[in-house]
Structures are given as C-alpha cells and as structure tokens.
Amino acid sequence: DADVTQTPRNRITKTGKRIMLECSQTKGHDRMYWYRQDPGLGLRLIYYSFDVKDINKGEISDGYSVSRQAQAKFSLSLESAIPNQTALYFCATSESTGAGELFFGEGSRLTVL
Amino acid sequence: DQQVKQNSPSLSVQEGRISILNCDYTNSMFDYFLWYKKYPAEGPTFLISISSIKDKNEDGRFTVFLNKSAKHLSLHIVPSQPGDSAVYFCAPDGGTSYGKLTFGQGTILTVHP
C-alpha cells in the first residue's frame, strides 16, 4: 500500500461544482502539502500544514481551501470549480525537522468542463 | 517572479552518454537543493540533494553540482539509461520558505537505446 494515498485518482466535473480531493498518509509525518502541476509550470504550492492546527496559504491558494482533519489527513476543496483549475494535483508529506525530502502521492487528475 | 528556472524543457541523449540538467535560482537564501524525478502517472520521487556548504554530491550514477556564486546547480547522470527517461525537477529550500520547496518547471529527459 502507498504511504501517501490520494482519492480520487481521476475526476471530471463541471464548472461551478464543489470538489474535494482527499489525502491520507501512513508515514507519521506532521507536515502535509498540496501542489498543483501544470505543463511548463512545474509544481506550485497551493496550501501547506506543518501540524494539525497549522494551515498556511501557498503560492496559488485563490479558489482553494483545505482542511487538516487529523495528522494523517489533509483535504483540498474547490468550492466552485472553474476550467483553469484543470490540472494534476499532488499531496505530499515531510518530516518536521529541517529542510527535507517530500513524499508524494500518485496524484489526482482533475478536469473541469 | 520565478525564483527557480529550468530553461531546457526537454533533453534527448543516447544511452551510455552523459545527461546534464540545469537549474538556476534567484533567492540567495536557499541553502538546500533537491532533485526530484517523475514518471508518468506517478508522483515525484526524491533523487538526490546537496547542502549549500558543499559544491558536489554524488550518488551512484547521479552527481549534483552547486555553484552558489552563479546561483546555478546541475544534475549529471552518467551513464544515462533508458529507465532514466522521466521529468526532472529541481527544488531549492531555505530562507523564509524553509520547509516548503519551490519547484522548477521541470526538464523532460529522454534516453534513447
């Protein structure tokens, strides 16, 4: 089983719909992240959480919200999806000490029509 | 304002030859530099890293070089193998963004048999 699990893996939705992407991890890490990948733009940080009570906006948080339900769970919501939110979304975790390696889930591909 | 740039979107090399992937950054506060590798339909995985106190770090076929004065790092793969074909991202860390990596746009490496 994957250490970082994302659901759903693929989702097609319509403009204006509410979408939630879920992430759970078994690595025991305090830090969790949501990134978005677009062609030619690399991975851009949407939100991050360094512990259960900590939520921070990243580079591109507009149009998104998050919830850290537990140490192991971090969900990303699109309250009213729009077509330019069509992208590949990645959840990641890391240890709480120092600059370190991120462990990524397999990604959730979202298409907004 | 892109703090991290990988100016070559793609690179094609012959099996057995050297692959050199480049990355430039602008933030002088970055002090730890990571490279990630991503295969299609998978999340990125950590490949190799280097601290700013070093100018070279080697791990098997992979070597990362850091030139702090030029704010430039490179990843050398030698000899290149077809299984190295993937997207490579550089991701510096440090300063005020400590703990949340800033990713370059990625370079698609194709190694031909």
My answer on whether omega of the bond before B79 falls inside 30° of 0, hence cis, is yes
Check B43 against A106: CB less than 8 A apart.
Answer: yes
Neighbour count for residue A65 (Cβ, 10 Å)? 15
Q: In sequence order, what are the beta bridge partners of B21?
A: B75
What is the distance in angstroms between the Cα of B58 and the nearest Cα belonging to chain A? Answer: 17
Chain B nearest-CA residue for A39 = B105
Chain B partners of A44 at a C-beta cutoff of 8 Å? Answer: 103
pLDDT of residue A41: 85
Q: Say which of A40, A44, A107 has its CB closest to residue B43.
A: A107
pLDDT of residue A39: 83
Instruction: Tell me: pLDDT of B67 over 90.
Output: yes
Give the separation between CA B2 and CA B20, rounded to whole angstroms. 21
Q: What is the mean pLDDT of chain A?
A: 93
**CA dist list (Å): B111 to A34, B28, B45:** 31, 33, 19
Q: The tokens 């076929």 sit on which residue? A: B61
Query: Do A106 and B89 make contact, defined as CB atoms within 8 angstroms?
Result: no
Cα B11 from Cα B21, distance rounded (Å): 8
Instruction: Return the pLDDT at B34.
Output: 94
B76-102 pLDDT, tens digit per residue, is 999 999 999 999 999 998 766 666 788
Structure letter (DSSP) for residue B56: E
Q: Distance, in angstroms, between B11 CA and closest chain A CA? A: 14
What number is the average pLDDT over the span A8-19? 97
Q: Does residue B1 have a pLDDT over 80?
A: no
Asked if the peptide bond before residue A8 counts as cis, ω within 30 degrees of 0, the response is yes
Beta carbons of B42 and A101 less than 8 Å apart? no
Place of tokens 């990125």: B44
Query: Which residue from B minimizes the CA distance to A4?
Result: B43
Residue B46 Cα, gap to closest chain A Cα (Å): 6
The model's pLDDT over A62-102, given as tens digits with 9 standing for 90+, comes to: 999 999 999 999 999 999 999 999 999 999 999 876 667 89
Q: B61: pLDDT confidence band, cut at 50, 70 and 90?
A: very high
| pLDDT at residue B101, rounded to an integer | 85
Q: What is the pLDDT of residue B39?
A: 96
Q: Report d(CA A47, CA A56) in Å as an integer.
A: 6
Cβ atoms B89, B6 nearer than 8 A: yes
pLDDT of B8 above 70: yes
Contact yes or no for B43 and A42 at CB 8 A: no
- B35-46 confidence digits (pLDDT tens): 999 999 899 999
Residue A98 has a pLDDT of 61
pLDDT at residue A79, as a whole number: 92
> How many Cβ pairs within 8 Å bridge chains A and B?
56
Tell me the per-residue pLDDT of B46-57, one tens digit each, with 9 for 90 and over: 999 999 999 999
- B-side interface with A, Cβ within 8 Å? 4, 6, 9, 31-32, 34, 36, 41-46, 49, 89, 91, 93-94, 98-106
DSSP code of B82? G
Q: Output the pLDDT for position B95.
A: 65
